Structure 1
Amino acid sequence: MSNFISAVKTFAADENGVTAIEYGLIASLVGVGIVVAATALGGKLSDMFDFIGSKLKTA
């Protein structure tokens, strides 16, 4: 019975799983930030290339 209690105490003290979850959450937040930034800049970048293309056609 003491081996079982010792194993439970060791499992409760182990923080490797918690660290992995934290890294996963951070990675997902970074991914969401990249998607939001790409979406926001995508339209502006497209408009800029359209403007440059129209100026090249008229030149």
Structure 2
Amino acid sequence: MLELVKSKATAFWNEEDGLGTLELILIIGVIIIIALIFKDQIKALVERLLKNVSNKSNEFFE
């Protein structure tokens, strides 16, 4: 039983079916849509993180 599970897991791991062009386009499309939906939140988060980095680096170098 254990050997059967091991052989199935090995066969699954060694399976070399790659992603097709359609799948890649769909994944990129979904990522772009999510980025557009949350554009304002992402921008605010990045600005807040950069401000924190700037403040911390100023504290360190003073």
Is TM-score (shorter-chain normalized) higher than 0.5? no
Q: Quickly name the TM-score band, shorter chain normalised.
A: 0.3 to 0.5
With normalisation by structure 1, the TM-score equals 0.41
The structure whose residues are more often helix, as a share, is: 1
Which structure's CA Rg is the greater one?
Answer: 1
With normalisation by structure 2, the TM-score equals 0.40
